[in-house]
Every structure is written in C-alpha cells, then in structure tokens.
Structure 1
C-alpha cells in the first residue's frame, strides 16, 4: 500500500474505530489503512472467522505509526450479538470515533445464467431458483445490521462528537463520531450479467438508510455516510480469477482496472477525518466511473 496523506487534515492518529467484516476484503483494507495511519481498530468478524493472524499483522504494520488492532467476534445478523459487541467496546473505550459498518454478503441464484444472453426460460429459471431465505439473510446482514450497529454504538459515537480538540473546538468541527456504511455501486445501476437482484436491492436500501440515520442523528452531529465501491478484490468478488463473470466488465470501466486498497482506504481516511467533517448524509461512489456506463453496456 502506497503512502497516503497523513497530516492533520486527513489524520486519524489516536482515533478509535470499529470495523465489521474486518477479517478480509474491503474490511481488512480499511482496517489496514486506519492502523497504518495511527488509529486503534477493533476488528470485528464472525465467531467462525479466525482473526488472530490478521490482528497480529495489523499490529506489526501499525507499530511505527502508533496504530493497533484488537479482534472481537460478532455475528452482525444477531441483534443480541450486536448489543454484546457494543457492551464489550464500551467497557474498553469512553468513545469511538468511527463505526465502519462494512460486513456484507451476496447470495447468488443457485441456478445461474448470463442475464444478458440467456433465453427467456433460462432467465426465469435462474431468477426463480433464488431462495426466500437468501433474501432474508442478505437484508439482515447488508441493511438491518447497519441500523442496529449504529444505534447500539450511538452513545460512544456521540461522545466522540463532543470531544474537545487541541484547538479548543468541539469534535463536531473535527468530524469525529461518524458511521460509514459499505454499500455498492450495484445499488446505482440496473444492468449486470449475473442476477444480483437481492444484493443490489439490499444495497439500495442501505443508501437510503444513510440518509435516514443521518437525519435522526443530526442534532448530535453524529455523521452518517456511505461508500459505494465498484470492482474491488474480495472473497465476494474474486477479481482476476478464471471464469469470474465480472472480469469481462473491466474494459467497460473508464478507469480500465479494478479498484485497489489505496482507492478504498483513501476514501475512508477522507470521510472520517477533519477533511470530511462537513460531509453528512451522502454516499460516495468509488467505482472508477463504472455507473456512468453500466446501464448502457452491451
């Protein structure tokens, strides 16, 4: 990962972060960007996901900058587990500067087809094979979890917004106390060569949830923002693997490439630092221009 701007405008040194889905993919990219810039990160993932090696790697990377990492298990689809997570963090911290609510899943139809070339019967068969439980699970993790995590951690986020900065200004002038929800550029276009309907719909709901929660938290200036990544390597999107249907779409992205760690970490550093303190209630698309052309793709 190349060096990112780390002066006082974009600085997060000493900030406290909770990152869900932090054990891999986008979550780990974000955690690494924060730790290497001096933040303390609570790396959250499923109890079944081993994170010890990831935490050790982050602590090694963050040593020079003063950043650190600590692993905490949580199934974000479980409301009680979220409450337990908030209690654990609250026992260790008097405030948190940011919640990066990043955990997400995608449930593809069991019977797959290329949506752009399939026959009528093939398309209907593929779409009908989608299970009701897949929709329930997708919304539970991709949308509902953002809501309950934000509410459970609200007192710690609000405490950060009231912190006095070295300049004597309140934290709301420095942007501390922010929720960042990971959505997807799939929420913003209609054409894909695989059926991502449940996934894209859950992400569109997340985009609106950003606005709903930002409005509700506005009196306390706990900011709520979102990011809509495009093609970025992850377990969900194995960029570059043979047979991956998404790889054929890279030449239709104006940037002519997949996203990388600096693209994601740099966006997060902007949104959670003083640089982004005046940004609230919006979702920022980080997709190399993908949605500019997606609905007109052949």
Structure 2
C-alpha cells in the first residue's frame, strides 16, 4: 500500500479554480488559501467590489508558490453574465478543477426583535416587516445562483475529472472536478436572538441543492460538496465589531471563539484535494460546535 505525503494528499498546485464572492470574507480567505498553495484562481465578484486590488495582493502572495489570480466582474444573479464568465474561462482553460460557489447575502427584517423575549405583537411586527423582494433576492443569490453557475461550468469541471494524469490516474482520483457551495450552519438550527428566517431557509435549500447536483453530475464524477460555516468574519458577520448581534454568543460556542481563515481554508483544502476525492454529495459543518448548542439558545 502506498503512503502519500501531506503535499500529495492536500496539494492543489497547478489546479485551476474559480471563486465567487472572492474579494471579501470567506471568499477571499478561500482564494488566499488556494493561491498560497499554488492554485490559479479566477476571482469572481460584483463589479462594485475591489477586485483588482485583491487580485494584486493574491498575486504577490503567490510569488513563492506559483499561484496566480485573475479578476472577473460578474453579478451571479444574472444568468447571461454567468454564461459569459463560463465562456471566458473556457477560452483560456481546458478544464476547471475547482468551483467555489460562495457568493451570498442576508436580508434581515427592517424591524428586529429578540425572538425569545418578544411579545406576540413585537414578534409579528418584526416578521411582517420583511419585504417579499428581500426573500426573492436572498434565494436568487444564496440558492439559484449556485445552480446556474454549476451548470454553466459543468463541461470544464467534467474535463478536469477526466484528465489523464499518467500511471492510470485520472483527475477524479486526485479530487479534480469539484464544486464546493457555501451554505451556513444557520440552515441547521433555530436562531433565537434575531429573525433570520429568509436567510436560514435559503441556506437549507442550498444544502439540498448540494445533494441534488451531486446526484445529477454523478455520471461524470463531478463532485459536489457544501460547507456550513458558523461565526466567521465577513461583511455579513462583522466579528469583533461593537454592536454585532452575535457577539454575545461567541463564548457560548464550544470552541469559545469565532472561526478564522485557517479554519475555512483547511476545510476547503480537504474537500478539493486528493484527501477529499472520495467525498461527494455531503455538507461539512465548520462551526466550532455552534449547532450543538444553538437551538433555544438565549
């Protein structure tokens, strides 16, 4: 039986990756992890985001590893824009080893309340203040966009899975041809300090989408996995900032802290490399144990 080194198990050097929402938060953490380990990353984000600035930083970071970054502006809710991104990458790459479909939003009700302590009137007022457009936008970004992006890039991902690497090895045996979709541990518990219903519901739908896509792509062994992060710094969750609605809960997480860059990058490196090549159709909760204590939490 052969024994693989850490580099062989978790290595992504030379892999081609695309990361949506890649210029901030989780997406940038993931992009940094990939570039630092020698991957070539297409960083995809809204045109209003500082894409070129982040790409320049990534390319500086990748000097020692050979990793590179290239910025692509795209609104992932625009099906035609997603198709253009797929065409752009296909014109430059023969395959795509990794798709990190990470872009997401949260739209809280304008009128907020503590769900546990609110009166019936206060709870109804808060929940009723949610706008139908916020629900539609949340599902469009958090669920539907993952679907169309995965479908648009399927031929390139399948080509990665089918790569002939020599010695009887195919790309799929090295973990190539994988989609990782960012969900949230909010899909797995009942948030009680604030009404996150539209966000949590969209993420629960995303968890099921992971399984649906994995089943549909199984013939080509394009793997689909999900990650369900807990408290991790992002625009959506400004960990450490005064007034953050979740700050009082950090010490109640079994890990006694918020997540960090290494926690997220480590989970991704496992799923997209040889180490995770036999993992398909599942979601990995990266939350420090948040869901173990979250239901009914004060």
TM-score range, shorter chain: over 0.9
Q: Conserved in 2, the CA contact under 8 Å of 1:6 and 1:37?
A: no
Q: Which residue of 2 aligns with 1:7?
A: 7
Distance 2:77 2:101 in 1: 12
Q: Aligned-pair RMSD on alpha carbons?
A: 1.0
Q: Does 1:71 align with 2:71?
A: yes
Distance 1:131 1:140 in 2: 14
Q: Does 1:282 align with 2:286?
A: no
Q: Conserved in 1, the CA contact under 8 Å of 2:192 and 2:296?
A: no
Distance 2:219 2:27 in 1: 29
Q: Which residue of 2 aligns with 1:17?
A: 17
Q: 1:91-138 deviations in whole A, cap 9, x for unaligned?
A: 111100010000000001111112222221111101000000000000
Q: Which residue of 2 aligns with 1:265?
A: 265
Q: Conserved in 2, the CA contact under 8 Å of 1:101 and 1:182?
A: yes
The correspondence of residues 44-83 of structure 1 with structure 2, limited to 5 A, is 44-83=44-83
Q: Which residue of 2 aligns with 1:115?
A: 115
Alpha-carbon shift at residue 56 of structure 1 (Å): 0.4
Q: Conserved in 2, the CA contact under 8 Å of 1:165 and 1:174?
A: no
Q: 1:183-241 deviations in whole A, cap 9, x for unaligned?
A: 00000001331111000000000000000000000010000000000000000000111
* Secondary structure at the counterpart of residue 209 of structure 2: helix
Alpha-carbon shift at residue 260 of structure 1 (Å): 0.2
* Secondary structure at the counterpart of residue 123 of structure 2: helix
Distance 2:226 2:178 in 1: 10
TM-score normalised to structure 1 length? 0.97
Q: Conserved in 2, the CA contact under 8 Å of 1:184 and 1:227?
A: yes
Distance 2:82 2:297 in 1: 40
Q: Which residue of 2 aligns with 1:226?
A: 226
Q: 1:5-40 deviations in whole A, cap 9, x for unaligned?
A: 960110000000000000100000000000000000
The correspondence of residues 180-191 of structure 1 with structure 2, limited to 5 A, is 180-191=180-191
Q: Which residue of 2 aligns with 1:236?
A: 236
Unaligned runs of 5+ in 2: none
The correspondence of residues 49-198 of structure 1 with structure 2, limited to 5 A, is 49-198=49-198
Distance 1:192 1:243 in 2: 17
* Secondary structure at the counterpart of residue 9 of structure 1: helix
Q: Does 1:208 align with 2:223?
A: no
Distance 1:166 1:27 in 2: 32
Q: Conserved in 2, the CA contact under 8 Å of 1:9 and 1:275?
A: yes
Unaligned runs of 5+ in 1: none
* Secondary structure at the counterpart of residue 195 of structure 1: coil
* Secondary structure at the counterpart of residue 257 of structure 2: coil
* Secondary structure at the counterpart of residue 32 of structure 2: helix
| Deviant stretches of 4+, over 3 Å | none
Aligned residues: 294
